Chain A
């Protein structure tokens, strides 16, 4: 008999074991929901799947009685736009400052202490400042994402740029490259797949900041909606929304991973 530590599940067993917790969770929810609804048919805490189906139908496929919009899609579009702008600007700043501070010792000496200091400020603590400075419009929400994840991106990419083997930087110089060419032909292309990894890591925080900002001040958006319907204990809306947000987060992560593998085969081949 092999020791437990040396035993590997097969393909089918791996899938089955992976799905089992999900199935168990589902069963537990169904049982608990049934029990509560039996005791009180108006219970809102653990709605039946049929109630959630009705909510999805109402939010996604019927125009809102007040605005005529399809709320789920309007909310999704609003949230994804903010997320894309925030993460996009952060990625661009991370790329530029990461490369500059990672490559040029003078830039590192001048900027690194500031970036380290900024990265230690809890972003949520300056949310009031953002609302005061930028008003309650789109800018404040996007700024929260930017302030939340840019210092991490810069510091991570600075580190990745410094990890490029010195041999390659020397090699570029012996091939006649100047500093600009070294950045353009060596550092930048090698940092790009690492930027994608760093963005994937920071997306969790980006969602957190987005939903927090939307919860406090917004008129549409996924975070706004779940905090709005919280007042009516509408778990039938909140639960599908949370699932939908999770699904979006997963899809974005998956697409980024796929893109990186397709676009930068050399990066994934050697790791």
Chain B
């Protein structure tokens, strides 16, 4: 059964159409990468999955039911920035999900209970390679370490779906490659369903199982907002060759120029 399903999904702001006529199904365990020019609605789509934006028309279903219209624990998120809480140490950031779950009223664990949560959190920190940084605050960590921490924090909740909004956009290329390996490993181990928005088309070409290209099939240069973007390519990763990559890149560039 499909975990995410879209039926004739539209998103409009007034007379600006961002997304139009989206139809697709995503099965559990898929890793979908979303690419496209700026302003083509990738992030808007991710926000609809997250629940901070709602569809204007059509249906967006999670497990066959309309997706909740506010963020909750079924969908984890890692943003490009501000993903971890600056006032908590790395360990406390990772412990947070369990503390909130176990202690509804004060949201904190003490004593023996805290010890148990701490062990689980340390194991998670180890799986993202942050054991040494457990006691540090986020501002003392590098950009790559902060993003690893954000992933670890999100995974503690065991979300059905993990949303990544340009999570590696601000990182150096070498660090970015390490992060790709980490995300792929965690995805395989935990059987996650992942949606990842990226600016980097090449990233979408070898990360994950499925590539979606968001682009405007109809584009009026006088009124760039008159028509929305659609999913112009829906490709299984591995099946696409260099020519496809170039073609997609050229189309995305053309759209970006028209809209700029």
- Chain A residues with a Cβ under 8 A of chain B: 165, 167-168, 170-178, 180-181, 184-186, 189-190, 264-267, 269-270
Question: What A residues does B156 contact at CB under 8 A?
Answer: 175
Interchain CB contact under 8 A, B81 and A270: no
Contact, CB under 8 Å: B157 / A185: no
Within 8 A of A (CB), among B68-94: 70-73, 75-77, 79, 81-87
Q: Is B197 an interface residue (CB 8 A)?
A: no
Q: CB < 8 Å: which of B87, B101, B159 contacts A189?
A: B87
Q: Is the interface of B mostly helix, strand, loop or mixed?
A: loop
**B87 and A173 contacting across the interface, CB-CB below 8 Å:** no
Known: A170-B71, A175-B157, A185-B100. A270 touches B107 (CB 8 A): no
Q: Tell me the complex Cα distance, A184–B88, Å.
A: 13
Which of A173, A175, A177, A184 meets B106, CB within 8 Å? A184
Q: Are B101 and A170 in contact (CB under 8 A)?
A: no
Contacts of B106 in A (CB 8 A): 184
A180 to B105 CA separation, bound complex (whole angstroms): 8
Residues of B within 8 A of A267 (CB): 86-87
Contacts of B104 in A (CB 8 A): 178, 181
| Number of B positions contacting A (CB below 8 A) | 36
User: Quick one: which of B50, B86, B100 contacts A266, CB cutoff 8 A?
Assistant: B86
Whether A174 contacts B154 by the Cβ 8 Å rule is yes
How far is it, in angstroms, between the C-alpha of A154 and the C-alpha of B199 when the chains are bound? 41
The answer to whether B139 touches A171, judged by C-beta atoms less than 8 angstroms apart, is no
- Whether A170 contacts B50 in the complex (CB less than 8 A), given A185-B96, A269-B140, comes out as yes
Query: CA A190 – CA B20 in complex, angstroms?
Result: 40
Q: Beyond A181-B100, A181-B104, A186-B85, is A174–B157 a contact (Cβ under 8 Å)? A: yes
| Complex CA–CA separation, A270 to B86 (angstroms) | 9
- A177 to B79 alpha-carbon distance, docked (Å): 18
- Using CB atoms, name the residue of chain B closest to A190: B87
Q: Is the CB of A174 within 8 A of B75?
A: yes
Chain B residue at minimum C-beta to C-beta distance from A192 = B87
Chain A hits for B105, CB < 8 A: 180
New contact pairs (7) apart from A171-B77, A176-B97, A267-B86, CB-CB < 8 Å: A167-B82, A167-B83, A173-B72, A176-B72, A177-B107, A185-B99, A266-B139
**A residues within 8 A CB of B85?**
168, 171-172, 186
Find out whether the CB atom of B107 lies under 8 angstroms from the CB atom of A181. yes
Q: How far is the CB of B160 from chain A (nearest CB, A)?
A: 11
Tell me if B108 counts as interface (CB < 8 A to partner A). Answer: yes
Does any Cβ of A come within 8 Å of B193's Cβ? no
Encoded as 1 (CB less than 8 Å from any A CB) or 0, chain B from 13 to 56 comes to: 00000000000000000000000000000000000001010000
B247: shortest Cβ distance to chain A, in Å? Answer: 34
Contacts of B138 in A (CB 8 A): 266, 270
Q: A181-B104, A189-B87, A270-B86 are in contact. Are A174 and B81 (CB under 8 A)?
A: no
Which of B76, B84, B137 is the one whose CB lies under 8 Å from A174? B76
Q: Complex formed: what's the CA distance from A215 to B52 in Å?
A: 55
Question: Closest residue of chain A to B78, judged by CB?
Answer: A171
